Amino acid sequence: MNWLRIALRNLGRNRARTALASSMVTFAAGLTVFLCGLEDGVEASSVERGTSLFVGQLQVTRPGYDDRPRVSDTIPGLESALKAVARDPCVFSVTPRIEAFGLVFGPEKSTGARMIGLVVSSETLTTTLNRTVSEGSFLDDRDSAGALVGPGLARLLEVNLGDSLTFITQAADGSIGVGSFVVRGIIKSGDPGIDNRTLLVTAGGARSALSLSGAHRLVARTRDVSAAELTAKRLQAQMPGLSVLSWETYLNTVKIMMDLGRAYAFTVLLVFLLLAVAGISNVMIVSVSERTREMGLMMALGARGQYVFLTVLIESALIGFFGVLVGTGVGISLIALTGLTGIDLSAWSESIRLVGWPDVIYPRFGPVFAQGVIMTALASFAAAVLSGIFPAIGAARLEPARAMRQI
């Protein structure tokens, strides 16, 4: 016989009450663990949506290029930079881009636009631009005259499939750069910057127009969006002469939404824990008051206050332990289950799109879960133990003779 066994048997006296107290911890831990998985799912989906279309999860440029983009500021040592990025185990694919701002002319109209030259073979592995074609076809590396426009730009220039376009800007060598293209496709990406102000061409077509051989930007897709920042830091160390940024830097709004989501998840955890503390405290106070005589007897027989204190504390710790165990199991199972089936929120798609959530969320075991499951387990257990402290102190302070007179 030991104190743990006594505590276990005490918990067995009123199993319904013990189950009720433990279920409060189970509920708090389970729901919070699940929320962490849900947040991981939302984050992965938001980042995926935000990065996969065009901007990618990693970008490499010459330092300062984004503050003041100049046609001549191409990446030095392009081939070795491409190899270094592609070699990183966290990188799935990388593609170079050539960029320039200038004037684009249709048969009748003209407007300011940016021209982006793509290497189609690697671009299709890195982004989903090729899936946004609504009319005609996507670019082909062998067709250096091919161009894509969005519906906005097509309307401004009054062009359709097969129409000719001319792009004029300052070339890398200072001369006037001119590119002649034919509209091969119309893309509908949903991104106003792309649909209204961008002319997509092949890398060959862009280089020819700009009289350059390199590229201004490398865009990469990582195997795990949450590892992008670390990968960027690692690559930056390898390529000190270049600027390597992850989506966390250049897709600031997504990052802010994620931080808000995490703050929300941890606020929920806090509220649930407070509810659990109140519930367990209540149960323990009732349990201790019912046993006042027995505790008085123990102390009359020579048990010190600290032993009685410990017995009550062990009981609440056991409630917490089982609650955390079951709750974490339930939370993990829910994540695994809904991770497969997805949670369809399309009925509220109007509202949830406003906060950047996808129509179907697939909860997953990501960084929020990894951090949250440990924090939840520790916090729930600590909350359960804390809940027992007040009643335990009350029990330890009992005067044995007086306690034994109580009914």
Partner 1 sequence: MALIEIKNLKKTYSDHGVEAPALRGINLEIEAGEFTAIAGPSGSGKTTLLNIIGGLDRPSSGTVIVDGVDLSTLSRSALADYRLRKVGFVFQSYNLIEVLTTAENAEFVLLLQKVPKSERRARVYEILEAMGMAEYLNKRPNQLSGGQQQRIAVARAIAHNPRIVLADEPTANLDSATAAGLLDLMRAMNERYGVTFLFSTHDRLVMEKARRVVLLRDGLVVEDGRRV
Under the rule (CB under 8 A), what is the footprint of partner 1? 1, 6, 9-10, 12-13, 293-294, 297-305, 307, 400-401, 404
Task: State the pairing for strand pair 176-187/146-149.
Answer: parallel
Closer CB to partner 1, residue 11 or residue 206? 11
Which residue carries 């016989």 as its tokens?
1
Closer CB to partner 1, residue 19 or residue 268? 19
Closer CB to partner 1, residue 47 or residue 284? 284
CA angle 362, 92, 231 (to 5 degrees): 90
Least Å from the CB of residue 288 to partner 1:
14
Least Å from the CB of residue 381 to partner 1:
24
Least Å from the CB of residue 302 to partner 1:
3
Closer CB to partner 1, residue 1 or residue 354? 1
Element (H, E) at 176: strand 176-187
Least Å from the CB of residue 406 to partner 1:
10
Closer CB to partner 1, residue 151 or residue 305? 305
Count of CB atoms situated within 10 Å of the CB of 37: 28
Q: Which residues contact 120 (CB under 8 A, 6 or more apart)?
A: 130, 138, 139, 140, 141, 202
The structure tokens listed for 4 are 């743990």
Count of CB atoms situated within 10 Å of the CB of 298: 20
Alpha-carbon span 228 to 246, nearest angstrom: 6
Alpha-carbon span 213 to 55, nearest angstrom: 22
Closer CB to partner 1, residue 171 or residue 318? 318
Tell the burial category of 304 from Cβ atoms under 10 Å away from its Cβ (0-12, 13-18, 19+): exposed
Q: φ and ψ at 406, to 5 degrees?
A: -70, 150
Alpha-carbon span 334 to 88, nearest angstrom: 34
Buried b (16+ CB within 10 A) or exposed e, 93-106: bbbbbbbbebebbb
Least Å from the CB of residue 403 to partner 1:
10
Closer CB to partner 1, residue 14 or residue 249? 14
Least Å from the CB of residue 21 to partner 1:
17
Q: Are 53 and 132 in contact (CB under 8 A)?
A: yes
String of DSSP letters for 209-261: HHT-SS-SEEEEEES-GGGHHHHHHHHHHH-TTSEEEEHHHH-HHHHHHHHHH
Closer CB to partner 1, residue 194 or residue 284? 284
Alpha-carbon span 180 to 199, nearest angstrom: 12
Closer CB to partner 1, residue 343 or residue 404? 404
Alpha-carbon span 35 to 63, nearest angstrom: 39
Closer CB to partner 1, residue 233 or residue 397? 397
Q: Are 268 and 35 in contact (CB under 8 A)?
A: yes
